[in-house]
Structure formats: C-alpha cells, structure tokens
C-alpha cells in the first residue's frame, strides 16, 4: 500500500499519516520531519533548507526528490509507506512516479485531506509539536494530557516557527500556487481520494479506512 497525503499545511496530513502507519504497519515518511531533524542536528542539508522553511517557502525540488526516492527503496518500504508532505510540486510527483515506474510500481492512493483556508490559521496557531519525538497536538482539539508536555515521551512541546500567523499566510499562498495542482495530477491517474478534513480526527480516519479496506 503506497500512499501520498495531500492537503494544505495544517489540514491534518501528519495526524492521519501517523494513524495510518500505526494501524497498517507501514513507515510514515514526512519530509518536513526529516528536514527539522537535519536542522536540529546541524547537518549541511539542515543549513540549506532552514532559510526556505523559515520564510514559508518550498525547499528546491533537487534537495528533496533524491532523498525521498532513496528512502522509499529501503527494505522497510517493501510493503508500502505513507508519504506526508511529499510530493509538493508537479515535478516532484513526476520524479516519484518515474522512479516507481522503473520497478513496475505506482502510488495506490493520494488521499486529499480537504480543509478550507478559514480553518487553517486556527489549526496551525494551535498546533504544538514535541521537540524530541515529533508528535503533534492541538491546544483545543487534540490537547496533551499535561499542558506543554508530550504524552508519548515527556519532552517539551513548542509552537513551530513556521506556524506563526505571518508565515502561515505565505505557506497557504505557496500551497495554492505550487501544491494544489497535484489534486488534478492524481485525479488524472485515478489515484485521488478526497476526505473531509474538517471533522474530528477519528472521523477523518474512518473515511480513510473506508478507502483502504
Ligand atoms: P499537517 O501535517 O497537514 O500540516 P497536522 O496533522 O500537524 O497537519 O495538523 C495540524 C493541526 O491540527 C495540529 O495541531 C493537529 O493536532 C490538529 N488537527 C489535526 N487533525 C485535526 C482534526 N480532524 N480536527 C481538529 N484538529 C486537528
Ligand atoms: P511540513 O512539516 O510538511 O509542513 O513542512 C515544513 C516545511 O518543510 C515546508 O513549509 C517546506 O519549507 C519544507 N518542505 C517539506 N516537504 C517539502 C517538499 N516535498 N518540497 C519542498 N519543501 C518541503
């Protein structure tokens, strides 16, 4: 089962991708998480991507495509994977498809988590991410048991720099210009599945399970 999550920043892609990964026993591959880990570790890739991320811009395709193509060829991806935050441009999708086609493979479903822009700023200003394990919460809809502390690992929760309202606006503009066209792209190849992302996270997940069964 090879899956791609589509949707605006803050639509709930990561939340759903983690549940899919846990339920179906496949890896959750988040390019945003990979970049944040590189920034934290101070790698060369981390230094390159940070300036783009801080401005709410996409990282250039050449810094992300090979990384994902290599990752999906690892052994743990044999039974499938869920890609979260990739592809984000048509050239990224084309490169992924071309790499998969070489092995006679393809993406089974592109799940589009549909949430209108009006809800996004609220979602992202309330998002809190664990500095250690990357788990995400929402201060109102999905709060941690203890304020500011990760339920999973006990580390501190923070507001991501790029979740501040001024950057969120830019990220939404970038989404509409560069990423939204992927909805048509996956519709044309018959892989697109839309889910209503405005409902409770378990109800979103139920829609996804209906698609995957
Ligand atoms: P994305 O990966 O698409 O950027 P996230 O999964 O991190 O988005 O979700 C963005 C924010 O919205 C997080 O704070 C998350 O806890 C919250 N969230 C996710 N799904 C829902 C939902 N169905 N209803 C309300 N809040 C949600
Ligand atoms: P995310 O955690 O998915 O919201 O991603 C955070 C940021 O990482 C984005 O705003 C981009 O700057 C960068 N990023 C993540 N994935 C990609 C990608 N596939 N292509 C380009 N930039 C990306």
User: What is the pLDDT, as a whole number, of residue 209?
Assistant: 98
**Residue 139 CB: number of other CB atoms within 10 A?**
15
Residue 63 CB–ligand 1 contact under 6 Å: no
Ligand 2 pocket check: which of 37, 59, 64 to mutate, most ligand atoms within 8 Å of Cβ? 59
Contact (Cβ atoms closer than 8 angstroms) between residue 116 and residue 198: yes
| E strand or H helix at 82 | strand 81-84
Whether the pLDDT of residue 106 is over 90: the answer is yes
User: What is the pLDDT, as a whole number, of residue 61?
Assistant: 97
Active site residues: 13, 88, 127, 160, 171
Centroid of ligand 2 to alpha carbon of 53 (angstroms):
7
Centroid of ligand 1 to alpha carbon of 65 (angstroms):
25
Burial class (CB in 10 A: 0-12, 13-18, 19+), 69: middle
Q: pLDDT averaged over the chain?
A: 96
The mean pLDDT value for 201-208 works out to: 98
Residue nearest to atom 26 of ligand 1 (CA): 141
Q: If pLDDT is split at 50, 70 and 90, which confidence band does 12 have?
A: very high
Q: If pLDDT is split at 50, 70 and 90, which confidence band does 186 have?
A: very high
Whether the pLDDT of residue 165 is over 90: the answer is no
pTM for the model stands at 0.96
Contact (Cβ atoms closer than 8 angstroms) between residue 38 and residue 142: no
The mean pLDDT value for 21-30 works out to: 98
User: What is the pLDDT, as a whole number, of residue 91?
Assistant: 98
For residue 115, which ligand has an atom nearest its CA?
1
Whether the pLDDT of residue 21 is over 90: the answer is yes
Residue 175 CB–ligand 2 contact under 6 Å: no
Give the residues across from 66 on adjacent strands. Answer: none
Q: If pLDDT is split at 50, 70 and 90, which confidence band does 86 have?
A: very high
Q: Give the whole-angstrom CA distance, residue 175 versus residue 25.
A: 29
User: What is the pLDDT, as a whole number, of residue 5?
Assistant: 98
Select from 32, 34, 30 the least CA-distant residue to 53. 32
Q: Give the whole-angstrom CA distance, residue 167 versus residue 111.
A: 25
For residue 83, give Cα distances in angstroms to 87, 144, 189. Answer: 8, 25, 17
Residue 136 CB–ligand 1 contact under 6 Å: yes
Centroid of ligand 1 to alpha carbon of 197 (angstroms):
9
Q: Give the whole-angstrom CA distance, residue 205 versus residue 131.
A: 25
Tokens matching residue 178: 């560069």
| Percent of the residues in the chain that have a pLDDT greater than 90, as a whole number | 95
Tokens matching residue 2: 């090879």
Whether the pLDDT of residue 198 is over 90: the answer is yes
Contact (Cβ atoms closer than 8 angstroms) between residue 117 and residue 8: yes
Q: Give the whole-angstrom CA distance, residue 27 versus residue 79.
A: 9
Q: If pLDDT is split at 50, 70 and 90, which confidence band does 109 have?
A: very high
Centroid of ligand 2 to alpha carbon of 83 (angstroms):
12
Please give the number of the atom of ligand 1 that sits closest to the Cα of 197.
Answer: 23
């Amino acid at each position: 089962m090879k899956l791609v999550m589509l949707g605006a920043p803050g639509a709930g892609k990561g939340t759903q991708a983690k549940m899919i990964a846990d339920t179906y026993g496949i890896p959750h591959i988040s390019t945003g998480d990979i970049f944040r880990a590189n920034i934290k570790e101070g790698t060369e890739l981390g230094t390159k991507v940070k300036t783009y991320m801080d401005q709410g811009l996409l990282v250039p395709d050449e810094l992300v495509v090979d990384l994902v193509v290599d990752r999906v060829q690892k052994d743990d991806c044999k039974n499938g994977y869920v890609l979260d935050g990739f592809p984000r441009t048509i050239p990224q999708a084309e490169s992924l498809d071309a790499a998969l086609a070489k092995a006679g493979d393809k993406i089974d479903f592109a799940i589009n988590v549909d949430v209108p822009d009006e809800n996004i700023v609220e979602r992202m200003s309330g998002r809190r991410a664990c500095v250690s394990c990357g788990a995400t919460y929402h201060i109102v809809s999905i709060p941690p048991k203890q304020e500011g502390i990760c339920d999973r690992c006990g580390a501190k929760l923070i507001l991501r720099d790029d979740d501040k309202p001024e950057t969120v606006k830019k990220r939404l503009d970038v989404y509409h210009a560069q990423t939204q066209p992927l909805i048509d792209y996956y519709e044309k190849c018959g892989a697109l599945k839309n889910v209503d992302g405005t409902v409770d996270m378990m109800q979103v997940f139920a829609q996804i399970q209906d698609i995957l069964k």
